[in-house]
Structure 1
Amino acid sequence: MENPFYSSSLKENNYITSKADYTNGNFERRTPPSDDNVSISIFNPTIKEGFRKYVIYTISGLDLQGTFEAYRRYKDFIRLRTLLVQHWPGCFIPHIPPKKMLGNLQSNFIEQRRKLLELFLNKIVSISYLYHSQEFHMFIRGPNEYHKTTSEFRRISLIQLSQTYLSVFADSPRVTPEEIATIDESYNYFKKALYEMELVFAACLRSLETFAEYEEHLTPLMNGLKDVNSLYVLLGCKEFRVLTREIYTNPYFMLLDYLKSEIMDLKAIIEAIHKKKAYDRITTKAEERLENERKKLQKIQQGNKSLAMIITNKPKDAVVEKLSSDIAELENELQAIYSITRIISSQLFSHEIPRFKKEKIYRFETVMRTFLSANIQELESLIAQTQKIDNAFNS
């Protein structure tokens, strides 16, 4: 089934090359961290032969450590993002474009994916803790077999994760129940926004295709009218001269790119809040498990034999020692979960959600002004063309 996220059925967009803001792909490039001077780009996508053909993307850039260059497949980008989501739960992790089963080797599709993957990397670079992560630096500087070399990365323990978060997000303030409730409200709002954005995306894709048909047929139409006019000039009709345009500005390409970026970002912020909800459930289960272990210990200390004691015939002291050790471990783990959950909630409420909303407002207003300006420019060109014909008949 064709993935509407990619307009692969359309011809190459050669109509907006004079408008860099339409084609550079940086629709949501955040400002890089102040202590880092980083540039990164993807170029020269190359189709490679193998058991199945695939595309290799060249990643090149410059940071404080010097230049870097790496060669990565699409599955390597998937691997990178998977690791970042695992190691930074509750944080905004930029999305990558979705998979496509058919037509993924077409030049138009490859270029669209290249732009979106480059956008993904620039967003990572703009978030300091993601940019400085081991996963990302191995991605831009490590061996070619990224998917294999990162197999050494194991899921980090809750204790390790809490230590990382307490270090990286040391200034995270505590949030109130009322503030946590606003996170849930934002979650519902973003889900609704995603639904609406996907509807607009579908409508924009239809408009783009309609405009493409319009521009494809307008030049032959105008040339045909000139040919007809030349015939009637012989009969005394007034002659009009109009230069037909070879280049048109299809503003829907720009709008479609913007919508793709917004859809990916909405999915990312929804995912971040969903991780917070997942840790709420983890907290509840850990509390229940700890309470059950404490009850077991209390019963044994009161002289009741547990099922494990009966089956294994272990002495009471050994069972008590094991349960006490398990309880201590669970208590440490629960404290780690509390820290993680608190920091996730704090980051979402005080940082991620406000920044996301602010960026989206600014970006929407900017894109709409550019989109409307492009529409006006295109319509004015058409009006000027038709006015010349009208002036010829009225002169």
Structure 2
Amino acid sequence: MEGEDRKPDEETEEDPNVDALVFEQSNDLMNEGHEQDFQCINPQNRSGHIVYTCKGSDAQGMWEGERRFNEFYKLHNKLEERWPGIPIPNLPPKKAIGNKDIKFINERRFYLERFMKKVSVFEFLLNSQEFLIFSRPSGDVDKMLSNLPKSSSVDIVEKYREQLKIEDHLYDPIAKDKLDNQCKEFQHFSKQMVPVLKAMVKSISSFMVNKSQSIQDYKGFLSMLDKYEELNLANYVEGDEHSMVFGNPTSATDKEAVNSMCDNLKNPYFNVYHWCKGELFDIEAVNQAIAMKDKISDKVNKSEKKKKSTQ
């Protein structure tokens, strides 16, 4: 599968214009229902490795612990391997150079949290053996995931029957053909949309940085006015506070309101940028799932033809 072909230390393309400041905003895109329980916060450098404090909840309740990106990566690959045909949420790619840069870490943290929120939509993944090793480990996460045996075709089929409530006697070939056509329509649609979304991400990243800089400039300008009044204008009014603006005791509430307004300024391009980039992640995940479904279908068809030819 595509996720398994990625090289762990490959250098990947990123958006060079996205600065660290924009990631100070919270992830407002996915904060509904169960998704609110999942967080990936507080990146820390521990012995040369970045670890993230991860929180979430499953059928057993709340869990919390520190995780490395490699552990997310191993979990993602194991879910793809042991749950073929399920659209496993994508992760940000690995990067060998600059992977401790604050901008890179902040964006990675954002998408690791998004990954957990997306997985939480599928309860059978959230409570699967693979995810429980990640969320509630009894040892080294990477080693425990690596030691999971490869599932046989029979095991996967039985697992899907149980988790997805599949009843063979309700099989409807017409419904199957309809779903196959919908998958093909989605693949055709995605080929048209992916270039558009990529172009939008590139443009919006520039808008986002420019807006972020303008917010910082605005805050800096107001701070400069306050200091200018304190250091210069005070001399012209002979220290009379009532003749000043920011230093006037009667306008204290106005100054507080200005400061509050500055503190609450948000970048309007932030959510649009991450919505577009998230859509690209999701489209890729669905296309990978469809590709695996087609691969399995081809194997089934070849097996049936082989059986008929030997009869």
Identity %: 22
The alpha-carbon deviation at position 102 of structure 1 amounts to 2.5
Tell me the TM-score normalised to structure 2 length.
0.72
CA distance 1:220–1:89, change in 2 (3 Å): closer
SS at 2:134 equivalent = helix
Alignment match, 1:284: 301
1:130 aligns with 2:147: no
CA contact (8 A) 1:43 1:57 kept: yes
Q: Does 1:94 align with 2:103?
A: no
Residue 328 of structure 1 corresponds to none
Residue from 75, 86, 91 that aligns with 1:80: 75
Does the 8 Å CA contact 1:83/1:135 hold for their aligned counterparts? yes
- Distance change in 2, residues 1:216/1:64 (3 Å): closer
Q: 1:27 aligned to 26, 29, 36, which one? A: 29
Unpaired runs of 5+ residues, structure 2, are 1-10, 233-244, 247-254
Please report the RMSD computed on the Cα atoms of aligned residues, expressed in angstroms.
3.4
Structure 1, unaligned stretches of length 5 or more? 18-22, 231-240, 296-395
The superposition leaves residues 62-86 of structure 1 with CA deviations (integer Å, 9 ceiling, x where unpaired) of: 4452442332211111111111112
Cα separation, 2, equivalents of 1:62 and 1:212: 34
**Aligned counterparts of 2:272 and 2:203: Cα–Cα separation in 1:** 11
2:286 to 229, 252, 269: 269
Q: Does 1:4 align with 2:14?
A: yes
Q: Which amino acid aligns with 1:106?
A: D
Q: Say whether residues 1:159 and 2:154 are aligned partners.
A: yes
Question: 3-state DSSP class of the match of 1:98?
Answer: coil
* Residue equivalent to 1:365: none
- Picking from 110, 114, 117, the partner of 1:119 is 114
The residue that corresponds to 2:274 in the other structure is: 257
CA contact (8 A) 1:25 1:257 kept: no
CA distance in 2, matches of 1:30, 1:273: 27
User: Which residue in the other structure is 1:203 paired with?
Assistant: 203
2:42 to 41, 44, 56: 44
In the alignment, is the contact (CA less than 8 A) between 1:60 and 1:70 conserved in 2? yes
Query: 1:25, 1:116 within 8 Å by CA — same for their partners in 2?
Result: no
- In 2, Cα distance between the equivalents of 1:246 and 1:186? 44
Quickly say closer, same or farther: Cα 1:105–1:86, change in 2 above 3 A: same
- Greater CA deviation, 165-174 or 154-163? 165-174
1:154 CA drift (Å):
1.9
* TM superposition score normalised by structure 1: 0.58
1:325 match: none
Hey, what's the Cα distance between the residues in 1 that align with 2:123 and 2:101?
35
Pair 32,208 (structure 1): closer, same or farther in 2 beyond 3 Å? closer
| 1:168 and 2:168 matched | no
Kindly tell me: are residues 6 and 130 of structure 1, through their superposed partners in 2, closer, same or farther at Cα, counting changes over 3 Å?
farther
Residues 71 and 265 (structure 1), Cα distance of their counterparts in 2 relative to 1, 3 Å cut = same
Displacement of 1:89 in angstroms is: 1.5
* Aligned CA distance change for structure 1 residues 2 and 76 (closer, same or farther; 3 Å): closer
Give the structure with higher Rg (CA): 1
Q: Distance in 1 between matches of 2:203 and 2:68?
A: 31
Secondary structure, in 3 states, of the residue corresponding to 2:38? strand
Displacement of 1:142 in angstroms is 0.6
Aligned residue in 2 for 1:56: 51
The one-letter amino acid of 1:3's match is E
Query: CA 1:76–1:210 in structure 2 vs 1: closer, same or farther (change >3 Å)?
Result: same
Name the SS of the counterpart of 1:13 in structure 2: helix
Q: Is the 8 A contact 1:27 1:261 kept in 2?
A: no
Preserved contact between residue 89 and residue 272 of structure 1 (Cα < 8 Å): yes
SS in 2 for 1:70: strand
Q: Provide Cα deviations, 1:127-147, integer angstroms capped at 9, x if missing partner.
A: 111111010111100145211
